[in-house]
Amino acid sequence: MNSRQAPLRWDLFCRVVDNHGDLGVCWRLARRLIALGAASVRLWIDDDSALVWMAPTAEPGVTVERWREPLPHEVAGDVVVEAFGCDPPAGFVAAMAARERPPVWINLEYLSAEPYVARSHGLASPQQGGPARGLLKWFFYPGFTPDTGGLLLEDGLPEARAAHDAQAWLGERGLAALPGSRRVSLFCYEQPALAGWLDAWSAEGAPTTTLYLTPGHATRQAIAWLGAPLEPGRRARRGPLELCALPWLPQPDYDRLLWSCDLNLVRGEDSLVRALWAARPLVWQIYPQHDGAHLAKLDAFFDLHFGATADARLRVAWRHWNDPGAPAATSDALFEPAGRALAADAAKRLAAQQVSLGDLGSRLYAFAVAKR
């Protein structure tokens, strides 16, 4: 059945842990499901404060509901998605089990390029006890291959990106870069390597760089390095480096910032996917784990992104950006002609490849229809 012919009612559960990525993914998914023909999407969230800037306008068909326990008198929709294993409230799960025709229950997992994703995608987990007893939970894995769930992508993005005028867009928002400068966006967690890269970019004789700082860690660390305040909308100059502090941007504006830059330094999952769709050189800061498991995930994505063409210096730079214990590395390989061309070609190739595979929203909708 074509997913657009099945106007399903969706419940999407999201917990905001300590960053904005989970909510960013869920809001984009909710909008995508409506675009695909969903009758409605209820986004259950424990902290919706970031939606004030992330999505300042309402989306017809999407309602934002406060996650509370219990959820009294709530009737589950046709499909229930828990984002990243967040476990819906027990009372809601009991209401799911009580339905004559239980909803399709899907756990939307984290994105990875590791081999286990294809093996685990689409598997069912029969629930043996508690309020979920008798229900099936399906595992849906985003990924980069045809045997995974794909990546979130809205209709028309490649065409809009191709028509984007970076200089005009930046100028209209008071974000014009220094003439002839390299444009770099920065969205990061705590980043021990940042001060060294700022030192290099601000050194006498270095190429001119305009660095767009997102709020949070990026701006705080830049202020500490600068030794002076830097409010949103203001700029500071240190040698050939100009720092431009941004306010929190709505998702469409952040996407276009990525389209406008020569290099995007991104973190987590949502901004990584948006940087991929920008088809521009990027460096990914993966969410750090104390046991170091994130580094294997980083290497898997690096290998997928660059393939056999990878320059060893690019790998060293990526690893230094993610591992304080790794050998020190500069960003030179990202800007020198050979490394820059390689990174640009890899970005364009991967973006085109992922577009050809189809998007996560369409695959998820078709998956839910097939399981009903």
Q: What is the CATH number of the domain that holds 175?
A: 3.40.50.2000
What's the pLDDT score for residue 3? 45
263-309 residue pLDDT tens: 999 999 999 999 999 999 999 999 988 888 899 999 999 999 998 77
Q: What is the DSSP string of 56-112?
A: -S--TTEEEEE--SS-TT----SEEEEETS----HHHHHHHHHSSSPPEEEEE----
What's the pLDDT score for residue 88? 94
Residues 136 and 247 in one domain: no
Per-residue pLDDT at 56 exceeds 50:
yes
What's the pLDDT score for residue 1? 43
Question: Which residue did the predictor score with more confidence, 185 or 328?
Answer: 185
Residues 124 and 166 in one domain: no
Find residue 106's DSSP bridge partners. 81, 138
Mean pLDDT value of segment 247-255: 98
Burial class (CB in 10 A: 0-12, 13-18, 19+), 302: buried
What the block records as the tokens of 273 is 């996917």
Tell me which residue range forms the domain holding 212.
157-357
**72 falls in which pLDDT band (50, 70, 90)?**
low
Per-residue pLDDT at 189 exceeds 50:
yes
Mean pLDDT value of segment 8-29: 91
Residues 217 and 144 in one domain: no
The helix/strand/coil state of 128 is coil
Please give the positions annotated as active site.
22, 269
The pTM of this model reads: 0.95
Residues 171 and 233 in one domain: yes
The helix/strand/coil state of 244 is strand
Number of domains in the chain: 2
